[in-house]
Amino acid sequence: MAKQITLTDIAKECGTSNVTVSNALSDKKGVSDELRKKIKETAERLGYVSSRSDAQKRDNNMVGVLSPAKFMDPNGSFYWSLYNSLVNKLQESDHYCLISALSEQEENDLVLPKFITDEKVGSLISLGQLSERYVDMLKETGIPMILLDYYLVDSGVDSVVSNGYLGGYEITTYLIEHGHRDIGFIGTVKSTSSIFDRYMGYMKAMIEHDLTVRPEWTIDDRNEHTEIDLVFPAALPSAFVCNCDETAYKAINYFHERGLSVPDDISIVGYDNFLISEISKPTITTINVDPEFMAEKAAEALLRRITDPGCPVRNMTISGELIVKESVRELAR
């Protein structure tokens, strides 16, 4: 059987990108007449057959969900829960999901997912933070899209996020109200907009109460590639605010291995109210982020963008709720 010619094959022949090839073959703007002619001639010479037929126009009901592979833990994560909620919510409007996990190499090399190059989806949800360069490339495809659980300033793309700034403020204030004055933060601050916002909420609460933010108590939990081992200084605060429940769970296990009790020796709080916060011993005081509600608002934002491509860009923030569990000790004041 002869090999089916793809957009990638044409792009390699012409020394350009898949997006440019797609735009040229669809007679979209942004491609010079000379390059457009070259691409069309190359496509004809190679025997390219577009996968977009009348029968496939139903693919407009297919939604591509694209997430960095590093966020999709096979053992379960908040993102899997959010994806499942998306599937259920979009089905209510006869839209269905295809998911693709993007490797770090693919993101760096600006490789489009196959469900875009093969024209299998009519819209896109970017779940979990991608680089600005990659999002700019996705925008060039002209596919209606939204960002979920992160935002990019001046990106021109709709986004739906939890209100991490308020959540970080509330949970840090809770620790302060329980007598804690020496409080650290666990999370690589600049790695995602969500972590940055939660950190800034933590900072607001500390500054408001005239408490010192010590740099050695801001602990990285990941690098640009993946999660990393937590490394703590010898002198510890009485409590840590963690950027998510998974990091809080990891910190609790670390302190247990060091012979420290949570919360008797050190208090830990998280964010997301994910399943792991209930499995943990002790259970983790956290900020609840309702994945079903986030999915509902994401579906509404995407459908609005599909039906009205020229509508104003919106950034929707969803407030969470403090959930008190067992991981905080009240100190004498």
Q: Are 116 and 25 found together in one domain? A: no
Per-residue confidence band for 22, with pLDDT thresholds at 50, 70 and 90 = confident
Question: What integer is the mean pLDDT of 140-156?
Answer: 92
Q: Is 326 inside a domain boundary?
A: no
If asked whether residues 285 and 299 sit together in one domain, one would say no
Question: Concatenated DSSP letters for 25-87?
Answer: HTT-SSS-HHHHHHHHHHHHHHT---S--GGGGGGGGEEEEEEEGGG--TT--HHHHHHHHHH
- Residue 42: half-sphere exposure toward Cβ, Cα within 13 Å: 22
Same domain, 38 and 83: no
- The answer to whether the CB of 159 falls within 8 A of the CB of 315 is yes
Tell me the C-alpha to C-alpha distance, in Å, between residue 104 and each of 73, 110, 111, 132, 224. Answer: 15, 10, 10, 14, 9
Domain identity same for 17 and 68: no
The pLDDT-based confidence of 210 (bands split at 50, 70, 90) is: very high
Rg of the chain over Cα atoms, rounded to whole angstroms, equals 23
Q: Measured between alpha carbons, how far is 249 from 276 in angstroms, rounded to an integer? A: 7
Question: Which of the four pLDDT bands, split at 50, 70 and 90, describes residue 53?
Answer: very low
DSSP character for 222?
B
pLDDT value, residue 51: 54
Distance CA 67, CA 253 (A): 28
Are 160 and 305 spatial neighbours (Cβ–Cβ below 8 Å)? no
pLDDT digits (tens, 9 = 90+) for 251-283: 999 999 999 999 999 999 999 998 899 999 999
What does the alpha-carbon distance between residue 112 and residue 107 come to, in Å, rounded to a whole number?
8
Both 100 and 214 in a single domain?
Answer: no
For 245, the domain range is 164-289
Same domain, 96 and 43: no
Q: Decide if 161 contacts 146 (C-beta within 8 A).
A: no
Number of domains in the chain: 3
Mean pLDDT estimate for the chain: 90
Distances (CA, A) of 94 to 58, 62, 159: 10, 9, 22
Q: For residue 151, is pLDDT > 80?
A: yes
- Whether the model pTM is above 0.85: no
pLDDT single digits (tens) 97-127: 999 999 999 999 999 999 998 888 999 999 9
Helix, coil or strand: residue 91: helix
- CATH of residue 65's domain is 3.40.50.2300
Quick check: is 13 in a domain? Answer: yes
Co-location of 3 and 91 in the same domain: no
Phi and psi at 285, nearest 5°, equal: -65, 135
Top-confidence residue, 212 or 141? 212
pLDDT at residue 49 is higher than 80: no
137-142 mean pLDDT: 90
Whether the CB-CB separation of 328 and 196 falls below 8 Å is answered with no
> Which one of 30, 50, 70 terminates a domain?
50
Residue 192, both tokens: 């995602």
**What pLDDT sits at residue 75?**
58
Residues 149 and 92 in one domain: yes
**Mean pLDDT value of segment 242-259:** 96
How far, CA to CA in Å, does 150 sit from each of 28, 29, 102, 128, 192?
29, 29, 16, 6, 7
For residues 244 and 186, membership in a common domain is answered with yes
Nearest to 128 by CA among 199, 195, 202: 195
Nearest to 100 by CA among 82, 77, 134, 125: 125
b/e sequence 88-113, b meaning 16+ C-beta within 10 Å: ebbeeeebebbbbbbeeebbeeebbb
Q: What is the CATH number of the domain that holds 4?
A: 1.10.260.40
* Residue 30, pLDDT score: 74
pLDDT score for 225: 67
Q: Name which of 19, 5, 14, 10 is nearest 116 in CA terms.
A: 19
Question: Does 189 reside within a domain?
Answer: yes
Examine the domain organization and report whether 68 and 127 are in the same domain. Answer: yes
Question: How far apart are the C-alpha atoms of 213 and 211, rounded to whole Å?
Answer: 7
Phi, psi of 123, rounded to the nearest 5 degrees: -155, 170
Q: Using an 8 Å Cβ cutoff, are 161 and 149 in contact?
A: yes
Band of pLDDT at residue 197, cut at 50, 70 and 90:
very high
Residues 41, 44, 47: CA angle, nearest 5 degrees: 150
Task: Give the pair of three-digit tokens for residue 235.
Answer: 């002198």
Asked whether the predicted pLDDT for residue 287 surpasses 50, the reply is yes
Grade residue 81 by pLDDT with cuts at 50, 70 and 90: confident
Amino acid at site 35: L
